[in-house]
Chains A and B, each alone.
Chain A
Amino acid sequence: MTSIQPPAETIWWKQPLDRVEGTWIAIALVWSLIMFVMMPVWHIYGKQNLSNEAYRTTPAAYMAKTQAMVDQYTVRTETDQQIPVVKPPPGSDVYLLGRLWQWWPILELEKGQTYRLHIASMDWQHGFSLQPQNINLQILPGYEMVLTITPDTSGDQTIICNEFCGIGHHNMVGKIFITEGGS
């Protein structure tokens, strides 16, 4: 038994490196550096990056902004709960809020257009999970996250909550409709 005994050589740190170890450390270090570089490289050349633009907010202030958008751009309502469907103009600021247990309002965006999507929580922490796109963001109370998105697929996207937020968590579902552009 040896790894559970003191090293044979008292000056163990001067023991020469074994070739198999030296080779592997060199390879692994190069790979680690490649993985590190990939992240800044994707910020330059890749198209999927978070802006990490965010502001402090309060539920009241954020609600007011969202309500103003809803009042201005609601086109119809959906479901028994009469959830407003909002169709803001391309390029505009779009507000989405998460609260127990709803994503509100429903958004209708045009394919190929760019929007500044704001998201914040009114109460506890929520998880914005856009399916089947599979875009997942952490949504916190007190913080307004801003994301510039360009939907490039048509059809419905569903927003589910993937951060546990109490007993109604699994019923917290919202919607983003993507329409063909050119209207």
Chain B
Amino acid sequence: MTTETFRTCPESGLQFHKPAETLMRMNAVVAVVMLLIGGLSALAVTLTRWPAVHLLPADRFYQLLTFHGINMLIFWIIFFEIAVLYFCSSTLLKCRLATPRLAWLAFFLMVAGAVVNNLAVFGGQATVMMTSYVPMPANPNFYLGLILFAVGALIGCFIFLGTLVIAKEEKTYEGSIPLVTFGALTACIIAIFTIAMGAVILIPTYMWSMGWISHIDAALYRLIWWAFGHSSQQINVAAHVSVWYAIAAIVFGAKPLSEKVSRTAFVLYIAFLQLASAHHLLVDPGLSSSWKIFNTSYAMYLAVLASMIHGLTVPGSIEVAQRAKGYTKGMFEWLRKAPWGNPVFSGMFLSLIGFGFLGGISGVVMGTEQINIIIHNTIYVPGHFHATVVIGTTLAFMSLTYFLIPVLFRRQVFLPGLAKWQPYIFGIGMMVFSLMMMGAGTLGVERRHWDMAFTDAAIGFDYPASAYTLMGLVGISGSAAILGGGIFILITVVSVFFGKRVESESSYGTETTRLMKAEPTITPQGGHAAAGKWGFAAPGTFAMAIFFLAVFVVYYAINWKYLASVWPMS
């Protein structure tokens, strides 16, 4: 048997397989580079949509908006997710990574794909937005780059699965895989489905752009493209929920309220989320209402239920852990006394709140068949997905990065005082940004649009002054969030490349330890609920959940009322 080298991190007890460690570092570093270029284009786009600034000319705006979407939604997030998959398999299971050489192939394919796609966009022949709706044509390299990238990501998924097999075979852990690895597994399964859908639509579109296929039906394209495009967001949800659980465990030693509930909720994602392309087709011609209603909800919104469960169980697990430490006063001492100055925690908690209150509620509301009529393709839509993807996914990944800098990169965090504030600047900036966009969208302001004043149009239109105010606030809060993102990049780049080394020893060797089961819960009399109130283990979390539901119900009702005011149609 070949000898594999590992090191154990003295602070966290995590064990890193040397080739896996290098791969995680490289994937994370490239991810941050993508975040940087995505962030620069974000600034240009935001400053153009801020009516008082209106920075870029139209062609450059649409080009950079295309560039921004792809680099953020696809390249930044998926490079980071590949690092997360390797972490959740090799590192958490104390196992060697399967086929590191293929993992390098995956990495280089992803880099090549990203470069080819970005060059096509920069060449000016692929200003088609991330969605590249046919029959609007793009340079074939636009699709080719995405295909290469997807092949690389697919290899990464199989390496994750292979590592799980090795860990089982070599018995590197006792019992079942940890919850966080389980969550990553669901992300991986959704990713494989997603990439398959991407292949089904992007390969023919590539052939069409080469002139080998004469026609692609626009409605069919949308149906399959969104089976890929929406599913890819479910990878993110499964991944960032896993990161929430991981951070709750790392910072508080939290364990799930019950494994059964949390794992079932992840399985619901696989069963009910990745097919949800219907949300994007609610006002499309050619689909029946029954198809739309069934496919947007699967009869009972089981995927929404899954997120509502995680929204309770993640903070609930933190509350139980905190109460066990003696923070039992009132409903919220556990939360007040949480380490709000630790960016690993504060970022994760803001991510949870922003994802649920802003991203989650708006997503369900606009995914309602009829309400979509007053929201489709308005700037409400990017308002929604910046709350889910940027506050939910990106902010969760940023928080995890603060943990990984000392543990994975063995460096001290540069400017720790600034790092304390970074999640607040970024998170709150992004929350205001999303809310203002949703407000402007409610007033009908369009997404993907260079000029809300219609200066050069033959027929003019004036939005109400409030729409301009809201778009101005979008510009200001967006710039604040980008500042927060810039601080994150500054801190991570300086820490990783020039930072002071962590002092403790962590040398490589061939010895490994086995991942042991968690300590059994010492159940106080009457269940661990005894530590809470009213027979509830986590009364504070329950109260927050009820508050969340109240906001949800009220906002949902308001949107029906608004819909009832528009022209009757049937």
Contact = CB atoms under 8 A, between A and B. Distances in A.
Which of A42, A129, A164 has the most C-beta atoms of chain B within 10 angstroms of its own C-beta?
Answer: A164
Interface string B275-296: 0000001011111110011001
Contact of A140 (B285, B377, B545, B556): B285
A72 interface: no
B161 to A, nearest CB: 18
Nearest to A54: B285
Contacts of A6: 173-178, 515-518
B537 interface: yes
Contact of B133 (A4, A81, A134, A163): A163
Nearest to A158: B461
Interface string A27-48: 1110111011011101100111
Contact of A19 (B178, B180, B536, B546): B536
B285 A24 contact: no
B250 interface: yes
B449 interface: yes
A11 to B, nearest CB: 10
Contacts of A47: 564, 568-570
A61 interface: no
B529 A36 contact: no
B512 to A, nearest CB: 16
A19 B254 CA distance: 18
A183 interface: no
Interface centre among A3, A79, A140 (most CB of B within 10 A): A3
A38 B368 contact: yes
A156 to B, nearest CB: 9
Nearest to A120: B285
A136 B180 CA distance: 41
Contacts of A49: 289, 370, 569-570
A171 B316 contact: no
A89 to B, nearest CB: 19
Contact of B567 (A14, A135, A167): A135
Given A6-B175, A35-B368, A170-B449, A149 B219 contact: no
Interface string A1-18: 111111111101111111
B312 interface: yes
Contacts of B58: 167, 170
Interface stretch (B96-104, B346-354, B440-448, B491-499): B440-448
B133 A124 contact: yes
Contacts of B447: 162
Nearest to B137: A124
Contacts of A136: 283, 372-378
A21 B257 CA distance: 8
B549 A39 contact: no
Interface in A133-164: 133-145, 147-153, 158, 160-164
Interface of A: 1-10, 12-21, 23-25, 27-29, 31-33, 35-36, 38-40, 42-43, 46-52, 54, 78-81, 83, 102, 106, 123-125, 127, 129, 131-145, 147-153, 158, 160-167, 169-175
Given A3-B245, A33-B300, A79-B459, 12 more contacts: A3-B249, A6-B517, A10-B175, A12-B260, A33-B301, A49-B570, A133-B567, A136-B377, A160-B454, A162-B377, A166-B127, A167-B62
Closest 7 CB pairs of A and B: A2-B255, A32-B301, A54-B285, A162-B446, A145-B285, A3-B249, A12-B259
